[in-house]
Structure 1
Amino acid sequence: METKTVHLAVYDTFADWETGHSTAWLARTGFTVRTVGLTAGRPVTSIGGLRALPDLTLEDLRPEESALLILPGADLWDAGDELAPFARKAREFLGAGTPVAAICGATAGLAREGVLDDRRHTSAVSFYLAATGYAGISLYTEADAVTDGDLITAGPTEPVAFAREILGRLGAFDAAKLDAWFRLFHDSDPAAFEELNA
């Protein structure tokens, strides 16, 4: 039986605005969202000052028990190796055929782990990822968000495009409703509201 549980990584300085559309609309379409942290029982604080208590630890997270792992950006992605275990977990997920979605600084973490070396991807700008020394620069794509197989990537200014790729990959909406959803939240198209709610 296919799982309907999505896992959102949370860590200090995570960019809370980058995953809000994704998690809210997944929850509204029948998915369960659970948070994953490095340690049990220790709250983390987002860039916006929101406190989150992880539902489970990264060590306890299994790809076969998840529909998707979402990695938000965070200041810590570029401040050392503290978040490297999340990039390693992403590699494990992809190896098991379970999708991973990374936005903003999380893409640099995946680049350092070698996850982007053989997959099309995007980020904030190409030279941001190039600074990691990764081998996948030829696969960098100038786009709001990119899906390559089980990997979804986006830059920090594209949380709606990021959510569109996630919702599409998990089948939360059919193609027509997904198009209406994107036109409503990305383009402020009032006609899309009725299409989405038809």
Structure 2
Amino acid sequence: MPGSPAPEAAPVHLAVYDTFADWETGHTTAFLARGGYRVRTVGPTLTPVTSIGGLRVAPDLTLDELAPEDASLLILVGADRWDTGDDLAPFAEKARAFLDAGVPVAAICGATAGLARAGLLDDRAHTSAAAPYLAATGYRGAARYVETDAVTDRGLVTAGPTEPVAFAREVLGLLGVFEGELLDAWYRLFHDSDPAAYEVLAAADGDE
């Protein structure tokens, strides 16, 4: 059903850190993997981290080891720690390096606040949990805030914590896992439980 990346496509990197919101990227990483992308986890160190839901994850590599040229995408997931200090600021700086290199970044929930503090939302259309949440960071991009489920602008995907399916839709479309009618059908199936959307996807799967 999903499309396939070029054989030489670099991995997608999922940032993981203590208190990361494990529900926010499940659709995204599952269908990236089914679409042929290798998903690797990147942490502050190689020490296992624990999600909000109590899942322990051992990172595949450290943030210092991650280079934009070795990745197809960097995913920054929400976490309590985005709002309780500067521990995760290096992940926002890595996002800057990715965007400067022309490699896309996808941020959801609290990670959008981290990017706002780093100035990365000042000149891009974006969204988050709510406009006042980002305004509290003191950033200068409030005029570019969009009241919608998810936004993609110049290689940067943003979404709020209640929109993991819309977040996945933007990422899957950006990397070409689904396109056009199939992308719309995928979203309608997983977001709206639309049986007609299942028929579209099943028909496409049968044509392969």
Letter in 2 for 1:73: G
Match of 2:3 in 1: none
State the SS of the aligned residue for 1:184.
helix
**Cα deviation, residue 197, structure 1:** 2.1
**Cα deviation, residue 3, structure 1:** 2.2
Distance 1:4 1:160 in 2: 23
Matched, 1:57 2:62: yes
Match of 2:177 in 1: 172
Matched, 1:84 2:89: yes
Distance 2:136 2:196 in 1: 43
Match of 1:70 in 2: 75
Match of 2:145 in 1: 140
Match of 1:99 in 2: 104
Counterpart pick for 2:188 among 173, 179, 183: 183
Distance 1:44 1:98 in 2: 26
Matched, 1:156 2:161: yes
Kindly indicate whether the alpha-carbon contact (under 8 Å) linking 1:4 and 1:30 is maintained by their aligned counterparts in 2: no
Match of 2:21 in 1: 15
Letter in 1 for 2:57: A
Identity among equivalent pairs (%): 73
Letter in 2 for 1:111: A
Distance 2:58 2:18 in 1: 11
Residues 60-116 of structure 1 deviation map (CA, whole Å, 9 limit, x = unaligned) = 001011110000000000000000000000000000000000000000000000100
Letter in 2 for 1:9: A
Kindly report which structure 2 residues correspond to 1:31-42, keeping only aligned pairs within 5 A, or say none. Answer: 31-40=37-46, 42=47
Residues 132-183 of structure 1 deviation map (CA, whole Å, 9 limit, x = unaligned) = 0001111011010000010000000000000000000000012111111001
- TM-score with structure 1 length normalisation? 0.98
Unaligned runs of 5+ in 2: 1-5, 204-208
Moved more, 171-180 or 25-34: 171-180
How many residues matched? Answer: 197
Match of 1:29 in 2: 35
Unaligned runs of 5+ in 1: none
- TM-score with structure 2 length normalisation? 0.93
State the SS of the aligned residue for 1:24.
helix
Letter in 1 for 2:38: T
Distance 2:48 2:162 in 1: 26
**Cα deviation, residue 194, structure 1:** 1.9
